[in-house]
Amino acid sequence: MNKLQGKDLINVGIFTAIYFVVMMAIAMLGFIPIFLPLLIVLVPLIGGIVMMLYYSKVQKFGMVSLTGLICGILMLLTGMGYWSIITGAVFGVLADLVLKSGDYKSAKKGIISHGVFSMWIIGNYIPIVATRDSYYQQLISGYGQEYADSIMSYISAYTLPLLLIAGFVCGVIGGVIGQKIFKKHFKRAGIA
């Protein structure tokens, strides 16, 4: 019963694709320096709408973990580095555990779980801190001196935990928004 069926796996694919398209649309804003650190704020806020609908279809352990892992793999393919695979898998499993503790029905646990899940985006910032020098050089060559300088001043080893907390808080807020929209639209339309 607890094993994932083909149907569940297809659902994982569908919702991960929607989530990722939403994220890519937001990530395009990342070319303006101030928006890069804001990604961890904006993606959870808007992605919450997708994830809350997804959560209503999740009944088994493993689906949210897979979503996290696959988001990480896609991040690697779109050139954001390999850290996201690790953070995606870790926070995906954690979010899954939170959801499981609510028996996949509790709305509150769903919101908290989305907060936990949203922290995976931190993986995109880790290279900025872990390999700071080479990342800086590469930013200069890729985007020019000004962009590189402002990114470096926004994100440092000190702001990383702050961003992680921001991810969680915004994930929770996004979850609340998501559930409101879910009730307003999706439930009425009968697709949930």
Partner 1 sequence: MRRELLASKKKETGLSLDPRTKLALLITIALFVLSGGGGAASKQFAPILAAVPLILLLTEKSWKGSVIYFVLYGGSYILQLWALPHLSGLPNFLVVAICGFFMRFVPGIMMGYITVRTTTVSEFVASMKKLHLPEQIIIPMSVIFRFFPTVVEEYNAIGDAMKMRGIRFGGGKASAMLEYRLVPVIMCSVKIGEELNAAALTRGLGGPVKRTNICEIGFHVQDVFFLLLCVVAFAIPIVTMITGR
- Does 144 bind partner 1 (CB under 8 A)? Our answer is yes
- What is the four-CA torsion angle of 50, 77, 152, 34, rounded to 10 degrees? -30
For residues 82 and 153, which CB has a smaller minimum distance to partner 1 in the complex?
82
User: Of 41, 49, 64, 163, which lies in the binding site for partner 1, with binding defined by CB under 8 A?
Assistant: 49
User: Of 30, 126, 181, 187, which lies in the binding site for partner 1, with binding defined by CB under 8 A?
Assistant: 181
Task: Work out whether the CA dihedral 10, 59, 55, 180 comes out positive or negative.
Answer: positive
Do 141 and 114 form a contact (C-beta atoms < 8 A)? no
- Does 16 bind partner 1 (CB under 8 A)? Our answer is yes
By rule CB under 8 A, what string of x and - marks binding of each residue 53-72 to partner 1? x--------x---x--xx--
Instruction: Tell me the closest approach of the beta carbon of residue 116 to partner 1, in angstroms.
Output: 20
For residues 168 and 182, which CB has a smaller minimum distance to partner 1 in the complex?
182
For residues 142 and 158, which CB has a smaller minimum distance to partner 1 in the complex?
142
- Residue 130 CB neighbour total at 10 angstroms: 13
With H, G, I as helix, E, B as strand and everything else as coil, classify residue 55. Answer: helix
DSSP state of 16: H
Instruction: Tell me the closest approach of the beta carbon of residue 63 to partner 1, in angstroms.
Output: 9
List CB contacts of 3: < 8 A, sequence separation 6 or more: 60
Do 8 and 60 form a contact (C-beta atoms < 8 A)? yes
Binding site for partner 1 (CB under 8 A): 4-7, 9-18, 20-22, 25, 46, 49-50, 53, 62, 66, 69-70, 73-74, 76-82, 134, 138, 141-147, 181, 185-186, 189, 191
